[in-house]
Structure 1
Amino acid sequence: MSSFFKILIFSCSLMLLFNACNDFSSSEKVLHIDLNNDWYFSQNNSDQWYVAQVPGCVHTDLFNNNLIPDPYFGINENFLQSIGKSNWTYKKTFSLDSLVLNKEELYLVFEGLDTYADVYLNGNLILSANNMFRTWKVRCNNLLKINNNELIVKFKSVFAVDIPKWQKAKYRLKACDNNDQADTMISMYARKAPFHYGWDWGPRFITYGIWKPVYIEAWNYAKINDIRITNNEINNTTASLNANVEIEASQNCNIEIDITINKKHYRKSQLIYKGNNIVSVPLKIDNPILWWTNNLGGQYLYTIKTDLRKDKVLIDSKIFEYGIRDLKIVREKDSLGTSFYVKLNGIPVFMKGANYIPQDNFQNRVTSDKYENIIKAAVEANMNMLRVWGGGIYENDIFYDLCDKYGILVWQDLMFACSMYPNDTDFYQNIKHEIIDNVKRLRNHPSIALWCGNNECEAGWESWGWKNDLSVNEQNEYFENYKKLFYELIPHTIDSLDERYYHFGSPNTGFNNIEINNGDNHYWGVWHGNASFSQFKNNIGRFVSEYGFQALPEISSIKKFTNPLDRNIKSIIMLNHQRCMADKRKDKSYGYKIIEKYMINEYGIIPEDFNQYIYLSQILQAKALKTAIESHRLNMGYCMGTLYWQLNDCWPVVSWSSIDYYGKWKASHFQVKKSYNPFLIVFNDEKDSIKLYVVSDNLKKIDASLQIKILDFNGKNIWNNSENIFIEPLRTTLKYIIPKNEILSKVELNKVFLYAEAINDNKIIASNSYFFVSDKELDLPQVEIFKELKKADFGYILILRSTKLIRNVMIKIENIDYQLSDNYFDLLPDMPVNINIFTKTTQEKVGENIEFFTLNELKRLK
């Protein structure tokens, strides 16, 4: 045989051996068989089946099959309540190949079932689920076959399951009237998203379905169940970490773990035993790049890849990103009370953000683009924290991934809100598993700042009359059980899983001015208490985790859920989409009444025109948030966080949101972007003077030129001053005192204003205006706006000029899709403003459709 053929035969043998090894390797890996497709659903006792979407829910499945109208349009909500009172069944058939069936371990995994569900596999009841927030895994080795596997999920109505609990209860468990919008309140009995039952900004859609992915997991020998990274020590030169790898084994065997971080390997071999095992692998990273919040530094994420091998064959692998940071919640007693602040990488950081609710009542409608858009909107508004509020859901992984990526810390509530809760053993065990599932899922995210037990449950018990119908013994019994849940079971469970700070409940100081010097507080004196906006300045907590004001969404959004005749606040449609109600939900116009009271107080007018009403509600909301945020940031050091209520909506509604359901920014979001700017000028009006402060969230001291002017509304200079200043990092400092009598004694205060700006490297890094009288007293001039439209890569630059003061300029461009860099702003005399218009529409169409509306015009229509 020639040498050529010998080489050829040898090479072919090597290839066969290599391919055989590859086949062996691939056959040993953990398999995930997606079961999300080809589902059908039916109402129980019906022979009619329809195509279903998984992940999904029954409401969207009914809508997609043209069986119900748009749930959000008009008052359709009222006609769809029977859906939640019915039982529903989902089914599918599927096949498997022998490679799957020959695995040692076969598990059926549901990442989310909403809520009470019996699961049948090939006629066998394998699971009875009772918690929307848990992951359900069922071993099904002897139940699967190659062809015609039938999977059936039967959802039971919460009414069928929970009304009997309500009937048997020793005493009535209470919730807020607007939050469980029914005479028989049962929301607290189900581990289901509380807002599904209604809220004071949300509809009542009690839905069911397979709301997260479902799949089969098949494996031999062992698999990685979880990886927990913990910080031992972090400094400028070294990050000492630990990887605790949780491995489930089907037999005793020797394994090797190989963890790769930035091409560096950390290996460990160990004998593991049948069942669950924890293998600890020390990690050391030299010169670590730390993770910082938005506007404070970069968000470097290390890629951590963990391979599991048996006999040198790869059998499982996990990969995720991890940010190295040292974060503490500092609660220390001081001369003023007890602090509450975030210390990130050794730096006390002022938190600027908002409360976040689910983006839709039907979670499957929330696309990855919607997640990206809402987080980017928070970043654009200079936020560094969002609170995932406790009446919604533990968010999907993509939400936390984006917060990691963009530097947004997450205050993570557990899913308890504004309610009393049961105290039986089964309920507590259910909650324990819920906490385990979600803390393990989320704990490696650098964005998670803290865990919080609940929203307003304790405050509601103390302040909302829930205890009034209970005897003293029943009150004592309930509150002891409350403490067992939120002060014992939950924190003990979390402590075994994660080292983060646990906050028993928010607020921990009660409402309004109760113990406002200790921890976080919710201030609702403005809005619910009818207090003036100035009271924001007198009710500043150590960390203000809720406050807010309502506004209507813009007219383009309202048009999507109304007919033309419905577009007034007295229409049944607009009343239905305003859920801040009073008198046990009988007074449906209550929210509008509050808005109108503040319209009169602040502007002296309630517009009759619907578009003008929308406009005024929006600048009113913006003014409220501006006043609150400036007050909180002015007191940096004492106050170290401000989270307004709320960032977003779950359906089209009049609410406290700064971004409406359709993603449109209200005036308030544009204002928040300015008020959360890293540098902020704040004026504080005192008896004989106005003090000018500069707030800095920057890590470094910088120099700036401070320009201060008093102008009349026609641009005439009354007084000016220029100072070279240093802006100290991470603090608020007094920079100038303006004597009132000396400067203002000879001017009409309703015709002049104060303006200041700080300039660094020829850029305005902060600016603000101050008016000496209320908006309703201002004598604003007639509108005079000159515009110029220039082409740009992103769309257009709109240049606006005026020789007069124009207040709250609203730009509206009809019939096109666009986004603006700013809106509802003041156009100052002889100070041009450049507005970026992000659109793909032609310049001619943009130019001919631009419209303006201003406070100047509104006041003249009075």
Structure 2
Amino acid sequence: MSASNTATLSGWRWRQHGKDDDEPWHQCSHSRPTTEIFTDLLDAKIIPDPFLDQNERDVQWVGEADWEYACDFHYEPDQNHSRQDLVFDGLDTVATVYLNGGAQILQSSNMFHRHRVDVTSKLRPGPNTLRIVFRSALHYGRELEAKHGRYRAFNGESSRLHVRKAQYHYGWDWGPLLVTCGLSGEVRLESYASRVNDVFVAAQVSDDLQEASVNVTFDAILDRDVSVDIEVVAPNGEVLRASTALGMGETQGSAVLVIPKPHLWYPVGHGPQVFYSVDVVVTGRRDQVPLHSVRRPVGVRRVRLVQQPLIDEPGTSFFFEVNNEPVYISGSNWIPNHSFLTTLTREDYASAVDLCVKGNQNMLRIWGGGIYEHDALYEECDRRGILVWQDFMFACGQYPCYPEFVASVQREAADQVKRLRQYSCIVLYAGNNEDYAVAEMLGLAWDPEDNSGDWTKTNFPARTLYETHLPAVVSEHTPGVPYHPSSPWGGKGTEDRTVGDIHQWNVWHGSQEKYQLWDKLVGRFVSEFGMLGLPAAKSISRFVTDPAQRYPQSAVLDSHNKADGSERRLALYVMENIRVDSMDLDSWVYATQLVQAECLGFAVRSCRRQWKGPGREYCGGQLVWQLNDCWPCASWSLVDFYGEQKLAYYATKRDSASLALGILRSTPELKGLTSPPPPVLGPPHDLAPKHHIFDVWAVNGTLQDVDVQIEVRLYDIASGVLREERRLDNQALLSNRTTELLEDVSVDEKTAVQAIMRNVGDGRVIARASDWPQPLKYVGLAASPDVSLSVLDGKVELRATAPVKGVQVYLSQHERNVSWEDNGVDVFPDDVYTIHAPELVKGDQVEARYYGSTC
């Protein structure tokens, strides 16, 4: 007898549905098991590339049409396989499935549902044909909206709120309107006699971490009596075994094992990423023939979301604890990595997670307007130790809650949580993105004191999803992971900085505060914040094909900037802060990226400073909006669509390092404030002289106390003369917290400050920080700071005779890519700044631009 057999369907063909019965089929030109209509139309050269120029507007008809796919597959009956299932991992979105031209076998209207269809009696020996008709999600959503009522949406048309589809397909303030359809997941034919599905290895770790109780559960489809044997292999090779017996027709099974002194999985920077290997083997009880087996790598860890009173400040903490160790979060928000997700490979996901690790990040928030991500992303996060905050897929809207919608969402949540619960990286589920903020902005009925659990009769009906249905699914299927009703959420409202998480958009959006005031904007956990910056100039040359359109204000570039009011806001932040001597494209790209880097640096430093040790976790972390792009555009991303790292990527990398320094310049009046001061009415400039002071602090994100040497130097900016130097020898930095080093040191408006952290033993530079008078546009720069570069194998050394801001190095010829480990750095006299780049060869033509030289 043979074990189960699985065949992934491929060789798909497609055509427009309903146009003409004689409409010819087009064969997919690729061999991927997943596919979608935009990529197939592109491959067939029927549409222009919507990512180039202004082609997006020329392909809108695609989303208004219906489409169909078909494929042929061979089935050979096997008397030992009593059942055949067609398994659909994802259909995007309104799909009707037909087998062999007969009656339909499946209807689906939720992209996030997974389907298993018994087709045992419907298959033919030999060739079979599967056909899937995809209705336009736009038309379908508009019909539902006409039936159930119109609800308000921020971004995209309001009909999207009725359709359980990736919401960003409808257009966002960083993404295009490209409503695709197709096979978003694999389709497989599974032939078997008996098998287990949804194997879940739930490990509950004791409070003292000395024991783990492991409950292995599974669903079963059985045509006979079976034994289910479970083997758990520890990282050191030790083996635990358990077994259970199930009778024919039973549908669920479980077994419990106890692991003494478990090997624990940790996030990056806190310990190793180790896994147990769990094998589940199904064997016929009568004949001992193997029928099916499943192998799972399992990371064992204890996770808590800690929200408890703080010392000396109001509200409660909001931080993650893994294996009893508080973990400060420096990470990013993740949007889908492409508008056409079926084009992505495992290597693409691995590269994205590698960016996080190299950028000193330890968390990705999977944002609620995209998708429950591909397994490859979570697998890589597990492997590299990147924690995951997982939103449910609701974003920026007033969602409905009628019975059919609720039923679809409940199944969606169960399908996806049961898929994702195997990943140790997931440490939080959140009900949605910003829907409570939308409720506040629209004045919807939301009484925090009403805990009835059913708000379907109010004008904020989806609260029932977020506070009743979704937490019930999480509790049932993955009880060890915390649930948070929304992001942001907590306290007296979504802007309460003392409880829960906040999205701090009062820089860029909202009141458009000066980013130098970021220390007044910190919350208990800042799960969104950002500043827009243009992509690299060489990226722009890839998607703007007409050289005449490659200037900052061109129609094409504006069409690739979806942010509302972006031209005004970006110009405001640039012009408010730095000199702009030229508006050529290279200069404008550098200017926007420098401002983005400066803003995010202020933000990260301000947040990390508030991680002050036990009972004083005043800020538990920050997540930059956003890591990535889904198409080539100007956005808040740290890395543009083509993989070019913006200056902000390097700035946040430096400020998120396990050992880092921070400096903040202020005035005594500003330092005493906990919120930004109100706008000044009257003359635009206060003529009274100001007394400036600065503080210096160090962050030790490691789990060991560290002794370091700190040097603080004050330089005249124009001349490069060293005015003052302070040394803090053998400075003890306590583990996993911030240590204040200097406070209220006087400084004038002609002086820049540099701080250097050195290893006590060998004097090696561990970290640097710098501080400049603000805004930078008023700073009297050195006339010719004499910046010099020494290009060696694998690195470039930078020197300057006066303080220089934002030195960006690049190859003068773009014939190859170079992986700069740092960039956009501040260089000071008496200090050689080394930037490593493995591909660099001595003699390469490396050039530099810096603030004052190019913008």
**Same fold per superposition (TM over 0.5):** yes
The 1:165–1:84 alpha-carbon spacing in structure 2 relative to 1, beyond 3 Å, is: same
Q: Which moved more, 1:606-615 or 1:544-553?
A: 606-615
Provide the C-alpha distance between the structure 2 equivalents of 1:594 and 1:481, rounded to a whole number of angstroms. Answer: 34
Give 1:514's aligned residue: 495
* Aligned counterpart, 1:655: 635
CA contact 1:90–1:154 (8 Å) conserved in 2: yes
1:568 maps to 551
The one of 194, 201, 206 equivalent to 2:179 is 206
Match of 1:528 among 497, 509, 515: 509
SS state of the match for residue 175, structure 2? coil
Matched, 1:549 2:522: no
Give 1:772 deviation, angstroms: 3.6
- Please name the residue that 2:583 is paired with: 608
Instruction: Count how many residue pairs are aligned between Structure 1 and Structure 2.
Output: 797
Match for residue 788 of structure 1? Answer: 790
Contact 2:709 2:758 in 1 (8 A): yes
Query: For each residue in 1:777-828, what CA deviation from the matched residue of structure 2 results, as whole angstroms up to 9, or x when unmatched?
Result: 221121422222222xxxx322222222221111122322222111111121
Q: CA deviation at 1:651?
A: 0.2
Q: How far did residue 235 of structure 1 move?
A: 6.6
User: In the alignment, is the contact (CA less than 8 A) between 1:804 and 1:830 conserved in 2?
Assistant: no
User: Does residue 88 of the first structure (1) align with residue 67 of the second (2)?
Assistant: yes
Quote the offset at 1:648 in angstroms: 0.4
Task: Specify which of 602, 611, 619 is matched with residue 627 of structure 1.
Answer: 602
The alpha carbon displacement at 1:511 in A equals: 11
Q: Does 1:856 align with 2:852?
A: yes
The aligned amino acid for 1:696 is N
Instruction: Give the aligned partner of residue 48 of structure 1.
Output: 24
Q: Tell me the secondary structure at the aligned position of residue 495 of structure 1.
A: helix
Is the CA contact (8 Å cut-off) linking 1:705 and 1:722 kept in structure 2?
yes
Corresponding residue to 2:800 among 799, 802, 809: 802
Max radius of gyration: which structure?
1
Correspondence 1:737 to 2:743: yes
Letter in 1 for 2:25: W
Is 1:617 matched with 2:557? no
Structure 1 residues 468-527: Cα deviation after superposition (integer angstroms, max 9, x where no partner):
9xxxxx998334622221111111122111111110001004999832101000111110
Kept after mapping to 2: 8 A contact 1:708/1:757: no
Does residue 1:287 correspond to 2:261, yes or no?
yes
Whether contact under 8 Å (2:95, 2:107) holds in the other structure is yes
* In 1, Cα distance between equivalents of 2:707 and 2:461: 56
Letter in 2 for 1:579: K
1:491/1:40 CA distance change after superposition, 3 Å: same
The alignment yields a C-alpha RMSD, in angstroms, of: 2.2
Superposition TM-score, scaled by structure 1 size: 0.89
Contact 1:706–1:757 (Cα < 8 Å) also in 2: yes
Residues 140-182 of structure 1 show CA distances to partners (whole Å, capped at 9, x for unaligned) of 011101222111000011133222222223x420101xx20x4
Residue type matched to 1:319 in 2? R
* Equivalent residue runs for 1:340-359 within 5 Å: 340-359=318-337
* Structure 2 Cα separation of the partners of residues 571 and 477 of structure 1: 48
Map 1:20-419 to 2 at 5 A.
Answer: 24=1, 27=2, 29-46=3-20, 47-52=23-28, 54-99=33-78, 103-122=81-100, 123-169=102-148, 171-176=149-154, 179-180=155-156, 182=157, 185-220=158-193, 222-234=194-206, 238-251=210-223, 253-262=225-234, 263=237, 264-284=239-259, 286-311=260-285, 312-334=288-310, 336-419=314-397
Task: In structure 2, give the amino acid aligned to 1:697.
Answer: G
Q: Deviations over 1:9-37 (max 9, x none)?
A: xxxxxxxxxxxxxxx3xx1x121111123
- Any conservation in 2 of the 1:595–1:617 contact (CA below 8 Å)? yes
Cα separation, 1, equivalents of 2:596 and 2:709: 32
Shift of 1:751: 4.4
Alpha-carbon distance between aligned partners in 2 of 1:333 and 1:426, rounded to the nearest angstrom: 41
Is contact 1:651–1:661 with CA below 8 Å preserved after alignment? yes
Residue identity in the other structure for 1:549: M
Separation in structure 1 between the aligned mates of residue 173 and residue 493 of structure 2, nearest angstrom: 19
Q: Which region of structure 1 is more displaced relative to structure 2, 534-543 or 382-391?
A: 534-543
Letter matched to residue 375 of structure 1:
V
Alignment of 1:719-758 (within 5 A): 719-723=724-728, 724-737=730-743, 739-740=745-746, 744=747, 749-758=749-758
Q: In 2 relative to 1, CA 512–608 (structure 1 residues): closer, same or farther, beyond 3 Å?
A: farther
Query: How far did 1:272 drift?
Result: 3.0
Deviations 1:247-294 (A, max 9, x none): 31333514132323135141213233414112223242x432221111
> How far apart are 1:399 and its partner, in Å?
0.3
| Corresponding residue of 1:717 | 722
User: Deviation per CA, 1:626-668, whole angstroms, max 9, x where unpaired?
Assistant: 1111111111111111011000000001000000001110000
Is the 1:517–1:542 contact (alpha carbons within 8 Å) kept by the matching residues of 2?
yes
Q: 1:477 aligns with which of 457, 465, 469?
A: 457
What is the TM-score with the length of structure 2 in the denominator?
A: 0.90
CA distance in 2, matches of 1:191, 1:366: 22
- Indicate if the aligned counterparts of 2:242 and 2:257 stay in contact, CA closer than 8 A: no
Which moved further from structure 2: 344-353 or 304-313? Answer: 304-313
Tell me if structure 2 keeps the 8 A contact 1:512–1:524. Answer: no
Distance 1:510 1:651 in 2: 36
- Cα distance in 2, alignment partners of residues 173 and 538 from structure 1: 35
How far apart, CA to CA, are the structure 1 residues paired with 2:197 and 2:455?
43
C-alpha distance 606-481 of structure 1, shift in aligned 2 (>3 A): farther
- 1:248–1:641 CA distance, 2 compared to 1 (3 A): same
CA–CA distance in structure 1, aligned partners of residues 805 and 493 of structure 2: 32
Higher helix share: 1
1:302 & 1:518 partners in 2: Cα distance? 37
Please give the per-residue CA displacement for 1:391-418, whole angstroms capped at 9, x wherever unaligned. 0000011100110111110000000000
- Answer whether contact 1:511 1:522 (CA < 8 A) is retained: no
Counterpart secondary structure, 1:784? coil
Secondary structure of 1:375's counterpart equals: helix
Contact map agreement 1:754 1:771 (CA 8 A) in 2:
no
Matched-pair identity in %: 28
Shift of 1:134: 1.2
8 Å CA contact 2:439–2:460 kept in 1: the answer is no
Which residue number corresponds to residue 695 of structure 1? 699
Give, in angstroms, the shift of residue 773 of structure 1: 4.0
8 Å CA contact 1:681–1:757 kept in 2: the answer is yes
CA 1:475/1:239 → structure 2, altered by over 3 Å: closer, same or farther? closer
AA matched with 2:800: S
Aligned-partner Cα distance in 2 for 1:295–1:821: 19
